[in-house]
Structure 1
């Protein structure tokens, strides 16, 4: 009987402890000064694997504060004593008080397994308040930027994704935020992912509407606590332009593990290296050849130190030309980086062109991977060997090509008729070269005859009276004037066909044509010209349009709605400029 009661008590104890939900809301202190930040901490603890959080945290009315930052972290452990799954979610909200006195902070609500849990409300006392105007006071004083970085613990040179959001009680204010400037600092490298604005969320924190403005990757290049500076933007209205700045975020950057190979420098991710000969001609001693070192992969690709071609007495190597094509990936920037070297072999025969050893750190495997050196075996020939290996037809073709390269008439660009080396004899190529030379000679004679006749006609025609400089410039502008409506129609077709590369190339051509009408070579000169002759408002619109075009052009994900809105702005602005 006694054992039976013990069994019942143990069963009741296990039922009481199993499936427990704890929800708390605390402030870091009870009394604050006017310049202090109120830090709220929300903790939700679920003891049991069958507990499911069905809703997010429903915050109380925080209209008496400015929300300047927020973040959350989730931890899951198993209690070894009871073998119970414990899930803990911690969220922190940083608030700036708007008024002094006693302010009540209400309850936080959350739904777990169809049951609503809430915290107890409490008061905080604000001793005094500094009366300061918001940086965006002309927009109702309620436009705030917030930078969110969920993964704040990364390795050195490992990326973390940052999301920039804007908050305001007035949805119209969200459309006035422009000119986003990403943070710049020596101990971080920042690369944009996209600047495409999301749909407006009307139910953001503190009953304020919110919108995602930008996403970017942050690569901390030193270990320790690294603070990411705030992102700045401007809030533009008809009469003012005000600057707003987001919160700062501190990252815990872990130092890379010990035991790195000697060839490791700063490559973090997953990469591969290859080397190849890009020259089409046979390698010849004492003649330059192009050798390319190709690095592909995903990680801190734009910022890592490329493996160089190792020095050797067999060849002379010069500084490379670096080209890259990278785009945002899931674990970093992915793509390809090419280092194009000019190498001059010092001797004929077999030579080995080697790269420096290369290794990288893989954050997923938490280990260093050494891929060693890459070797390109090249057989070079002396000049006599190259000449002996050529056939008679190849020598004739080389002589013709040299002639076409050095003799160029104003009538026809002959260098485009160069003949490539062929391994077979082609009579058609030889006859074509002879015909081209005869045609060029006849065209040259005709051109000289036409020049003499033109000189005689010019001497007999009376000179037209010269006008003023302004009249002459106006006449030239009218002759150079381009019908931009043709460009508008072509851009519309490119947009409908999703040919965005041609779209932006045509747009650059349109801008160049319009600037040529006013004899302005650069965008800066043209903007100054517009400000002087057509008003500062139109010049500012032109500058903002150029910046917006650059953002849309290099955005990895392009939306049809964004391109349509951009095209409408282009048609409106260039129509005003060309009046």
Structure 2
């Protein structure tokens, strides 16, 4: 689909053992927000969501994608269906397909399982004869949750780190409890496999390793719980050899360890929110760039707006542009580069708007206002981009009071003969013997002029109605004008002039709709066309075809693009659209 977004789900394995981990990934070939994962209640969530973004330029064409991935482990055997994930993209909710995974009862060997499990010690798991009896290993092992801050504002970010301290040889086998972070937007941060280092816990020297690191953004105010995490591990415990009494020996025992939980005090944002506030919390700057200040009517202009800084960059959108009604605005292309720095996100989001002025004249593009809340200053800050003057030449110049077109024709009246005729004393008339009054000729001379007068009045009223009713005239000429433009398009198709071809097609279809439903060219935006056609009860399928056709034609004419559809097929579609409206 041209310029469409696809949201897909994929599995690393379609069949797994009951103790085997697998990965599920949700990917969109564009940008999106408000990602919502499906229900994972039949699985243990060992990690995620891990979020990544990718933007690339090839031959001047930009492509971008975003993915969310989770590491899961089954809780039971059988065949399970993983539901749909959803995401908001360009104002529309997209959903993935459902996936099925088969889980067998047989367990795989421990080495196979751990290949898919994060190991902070960076080594292969060795098969051990671990005892199922738990023993008291003292205070030598501690799983601890630390956060960068526990008191913060809604939308402000904090870093949560799950860290294990140990003074014995340990091997992590499984995560028996994973935090859910209810009320938070969570972003998993990749932890290196081998991150063991010498550390201190309560003044005692030991080893430590980070097991999980998550950037959290509270989505509501109040007391929010950052959950515990639990692990199953094998610990090497020292024992004394009872045979000789001189040498120490070791045996492996299993141990369950659970971290602490932390309650975050999330403060509500101040109530004096600016009207253009869209949830941005942090510290930001804004800049804008218009690629040209002079252009021609119906030629594209690019406006780029860039927000840069630190804070919840993933979770806010830009305010709506305030554009003159004669400039058509398309949904922006989003380019972003966001990474974790310290305990917050940093980077930028760039929005590129395609603007198409429809009439000649001088237009003022008002500054875009962007507001955010700065937690360090405890107040809202409003930034504005610069204003631009856009000079548009060529095409029709629109005035505030456009004259109504009249289709009345004026005729000159000629008088035959002379203005004044002299009275003649003698005439050439002779007296007729039979009386005219009451004869057939008498009544004919009365009825014929009367009939002609009535017919003349009816015809005159009809012509006046036609000439005074612009909508009726436009409707009557709609089909004829559309055929004229489609004929031109057919000519350009044979000459392989694609730009002129799409221009003629667009004029044919949009001009036909404008004439048919009395829409002025200045008001022939996608939104207005959709509104008018809906009011005239045009069916949904035809409506979708019309809007898609208008978008395709405009983008081909005003912005570089490539499509696989032959021009002959597009011409056929245009004819079909007009035919469907005629029959509606």
Instruction: Identify whether the pair has TM-score above 0.5, normalized to the shorter chain.
Output: no
The structure where helix makes up a greater share of residues is: 1
Structure with greater strand share of residues: 2
Larger Rg: 2
Q: TM-score, normalised by structure 1?
A: 0.37
TM-score (norm 2): 0.36
